[in-house]
Every structure is written in structure tokens, then in C-alpha cells.
Amino acid sequence: MPEALALVLSLLALAGTLAAAVARSRWPIEAIAAVAAAAALVAIGALTPSAARQAIGDLGPTVGFLAALLVLAEGCRRQGLFDAMGGLMAAGARGRPRRLLALVFVVAATVTAVLSLDATVVLLTPIVLATAARLRTDPRPHVYACSHLANSASLLLPVSNLTNLLAFQASGLSFTRFAGLMALPTAGAVAVEWVVLTRFFAVDLGRPRRARAGAEERPPLPRFALAVVALTLAGFAASSLLGVAPAWVAAAGAAAITIPALVRRTTTARTLALAAEPSFLVFVLGLGVVVRAASDNGLASAARAVLPGGVALPELLAVVAVSAILANLVNNLPATLILVPVAAPSGAAAVLAVLIGVNVGPNLTYVGSLATLLWRRVLHVEDHQVELGEFVRLGALTVPAGLVVATVLLWFSAQGLT
């Protein structure tokens, strides 16, 4: 098959897979679409079976790692960790909205870094909304903080974002080295969010208040869950010294928090299987094969033409900009799958620059990516009117500044790298 035709067909398959992922359906159509698209590309010869097998083999460990992290986060929720954090934030705020926002920043950044952005979006955001409501204050700044930090604070650890997991192996870094290089960029991105959000919402946060709070709830901190998370983190840090893949540490953490619950029958195997999101895992594997087909048939060389090669500051800034734009056009998972293999030969700093772009960039458009937003509009799946102006204005204020600050700090941190 001519390469141009194979490329066009691969891109069509990619578009179809993404459209299926955006549509709202009771059925796991995105997994079905991804597998069907991958199978079709192999059948017509756009990708050889061995290349497809290799793509699946490359992604397999990452997908297993992700499943373990999802089960770990679900275990923390089941043990009441997020409810307890809600109680702590409510008590610590002492009725002052600005103090509450500071606590939301600390908690959301920590949860994102340690338990991944999924945990912040799915498990923490409802708790923050309920906490603001209980304190009788406007939830708007606090919900925005969750939504933004789920992206901005997801730079820190390989486990903070699926994009990091996808790039972790290609970066060639150990868990602790990754964290060390990303510590300053994460702090910079979070600081930009704090400066912009406290100014943007200054009136809401400084409003004269006369409001007794609702009934107080102080659920106890679940010590067991905290201990499992702390030990898992310590295991990640020690993994390179011990020569163990971090995925096994995550699996051990997931088992530690799950097995007692299964024995005591406080959860069921079905709930656990759902928490690991099997259809999403299949979707990622299928998407990986489809992107590999597109990359092998010319998309990678196109990306190579756009992505600069070096790791000096101007080149890193350009890599970040390209990554952020692509993440907003096609969502950050496919953007990572396309760009990381192209950036990897330039070294770890270039891979981390891609991650800054695909992780912080999506705040530009509130639902994670412009593609998601536009697709949803096109497909008429939005069942309520969304006021876009505020989301986009806040994104325009935080994203460019966050990208530049994080990139400069990455460049500074990476000075020791050769």
C-alpha cells in the first residue's frame, strides 16, 4: 500500500477512535472503536502484525501500571480518605474562603501528584464542592482550582498523569530522577495558578461574610490507607535502587489496600474490576496501535519536521508550545503517543518538555482539550449550556505563563543532564 494512502487511512482511524471516546454512550464504544480501528489497519496492511504486537507490548506494562493506580485510588476512597480531607479542609479554613482555597491547593496538588489527576477530577472535586457548600461560601474558585491543578500539578511524578506513565520509559529516567527534574517545574506551574486564581477571584474570596456554616462533619483520617500510600511512594523512590519496576510497587500497593476489603467483604470483585476501568485500558492499547500506524506511515516524520531537536531553552520552549497546541487539538493522550517517540532521541529534557506541554496545555480549554469540546458540540451531546467565556479567559491567563515558567525551571533543573 502506498504510504500516503496508509497515512490517510490511519488518521481517519485515529479520528474515528477519538470521536467514539468523546461520544456519551452507555456502552464502551471507545474501546470497541479503538480495537476495530487497530484491527482494520493491520488487516489492510497499514501496519504489520509484528509492529502492532510490538506497540501492544510496549504499552502493556504502562496499562497495567495505570490499572494498579486506579485500584489504589479507589481503595483510598473506600477507606474514606477523601471525605476525611474534606473535613480537614473545612476545619482548617476557619470560615475564610482564602484559607479554604489555600488548603484546596495543597490537597489537590498532593492528590494529583500522588494518586493521579483522575483521582482529583473524579474523587476529590465532588468533595471540594461539598466542603465549600458546607462552609457556606461560593464554590467557584475552589472548583476551578481542582480542575486546573489536576492538570498543572500532574507534572511531578511518573504516576501523576497517564501521559507521564506513557513517557516514563522513553525518558530513560529513574522514578526519583524524574521527580527531581519535575519538582521545580511543578512548583512553578502551581505558583502561577495561585497568583492568577487569587487575583481573578479576589472579589469572591474577599467578600464580606455573615454566614454560619452548615453542620460540621469530621470523619477520622483512615490511617491504614495513608500508610499504604506512604509505603507505595517510598517503594517508588526505592524501586530503581532495588531494581524493581515501579509498576510492581503500584501493584503491591493496590493489593495491600484491596485484599483486606475483599476478605472483609466491604467491596466486591465487580466494583474493583470497574475501578480499574477495563474498557479504558483496552482503549489505550487500541489507541496506541492506531497512533503507531499513523506514526510509521509519515506522521512521525511530520512531527520530526515540526519538533526542534536540541535541549537549549529556545528549543525546549518550542517543544512545549507544539505539545500544548497538539494536546488541545487532539487531546493529550494521542499527543503524547505521537510526540514522545519523536522527542526521545533528543534526551530526557525534551521528553519532559513534551509532558509540560501536554499536561499544562489542556487548561486552555476546560474539558481537557479543544477537540473534546468541539466534538461534543458537533455531536450535540452537551445536555446543558456551558458558559465558555470564563473558562477560556482563565485558561488564557494561566496556561501561557504556566508553560513558560515550568519550561524555564525544567531547563534550569536539566543543566546537569547531558
Partner 1 sequence: MRALVWIVEDTWEATVAEAAAYLPADAEVTLLHVAAGDVESLAEGARQGLLGRRRHPGPAEPPQPRAISDEAAEALLTDARARLGREARTERRRGRVGHEVAAAADGMDLLILARDGDHSRLGPRSLGPAARFAVDHAPCRVLLIWADAPPGLDTIPPPPRHH
Among 4, 5, 53, 209, binds partner 1 (CB under 8 A): 209
C-beta separation of 288 from 58 below 8 A? yes
Least spacing, CB of residue 198 vs partner 1, in Å: 14
Identify which range of 100-108, 177-185, 198-206, 307-315 contacts partner 1 by CB under 8 A: 198-206
Least spacing, CB of residue 373 vs partner 1, in Å: 8
The reply on whether position 261 binds partner 1 by CB under 8 A is no
Tell me whether residue 128 or residue 157 sits nearer to partner 1 (CB atom).
128
Listed residue (273, 280, 277, 233) closest to 253, CA to CA: 233
Least spacing, CB of residue 172 vs partner 1, in Å: 26
Among 67, 71, 108, 146, binds partner 1 (CB under 8 A): 146
The reply on whether position 78 binds partner 1 by CB under 8 A is yes
Identify which range of 102-110, 256-264, 341-349, 363-371 contacts partner 1 by CB under 8 A: 363-371
Distance from first CA to last CA of the chain, Å, rounded? Answer: 41
Tell me whether residue 200 or residue 248 sits nearer to partner 1 (CB atom).
200
CA torsion through residues 107, 113, 119, 120, sign: positive
Q: How far apart are CA 235 and CA 246, in angstroms?
A: 8
Please list, residue by residue across 179-203, b when 16 or more beta carbons sit within 10 angstroms of its beta carbon and e when fewer do. Answer: bebbbbbbbbbbbbbbebbbebbee
The reply on whether position 24 binds partner 1 by CB under 8 A is yes
The reply on whether position 139 binds partner 1 by CB under 8 A is yes
Provide φ and ψ at 47, rounded to 5°.
-145, 135
Residues in the chain, overall count: 418
Tell me whether residue 125 or residue 346 sits nearer to partner 1 (CB atom).
125
Helix/strand/coil (H/E/C) assignment for every residue in 379-413: HCCCCCCCCHHHHHHHHHHHHHHHHHHHHHHHHHH
The reply on whether position 387 binds partner 1 by CB under 8 A is yes
Residue numbers 46-75 binding partner 1 by CB under 8 A: 74
Least spacing, CB of residue 280 vs partner 1, in Å: 5
C-beta separation of 157 from 178 below 8 A? yes
The reply on whether position 129 binds partner 1 by CB under 8 A is yes
Tell me whether residue 389 or residue 416 sits nearer to partner 1 (CB atom).
389
Least spacing, CB of residue 333 vs partner 1, in Å: 6
C-beta separation of 344 from 351 below 8 A? yes
Residue numbers 104-123 binding partner 1 by CB under 8 A: 117-118, 121-123
Residue numbers 217-236 binding partner 1 by CB under 8 A: none
Q: How far apart are CA 145 and CA 200, in angstroms?
A: 12
Least spacing, CB of residue 77 vs partner 1, in Å: 8
Among 1, 48, 216, 271, binds partner 1 (CB under 8 A): 271
Size of the site for partner 1 (CB under 8 A): 73
Least spacing, CB of residue 283 vs partner 1, in Å: 4
Q: Which residues of 91-239 form beta strands (DSSP E)?
A: none
The reply on whether position 150 binds partner 1 by CB under 8 A is yes
Q: Which residues of 157-255 form beta strands (DSSP E)?
A: none
The reply on whether position 94 binds partner 1 by CB under 8 A is no
Q: How many CB atoms lie within 10 A of CB 151?
A: 29
Listed residue (278, 276, 369) closest to 330, CA to CA: 369
* C-alpha torsion 65→282→335→11, nearest 10: 160
Least spacing, CB of residue 238 vs partner 1, in Å: 30
Among 6, 7, 30, 153, binds partner 1 (CB under 8 A): 30
The reply on whether position 133 binds partner 1 by CB under 8 A is yes
Least spacing, CB of residue 376 vs partner 1, in Å: 7
Among 225, 367, 405, 406, binds partner 1 (CB under 8 A): 367
H or E element at residue 320: helix 313-330
Least spacing, CB of residue 51 vs partner 1, in Å: 23
Site string for partner 1, 320-359 (x = CB under 8 A): -----------xxx--------------------------
Using CA atoms, how far residue 294 sits from 61, 303, 355, in Å, is: 22, 11, 21
Least spacing, CB of residue 271 vs partner 1, in Å: 5
Q: How far apart are CA 361 and CA 264, in angstroms?
A: 43
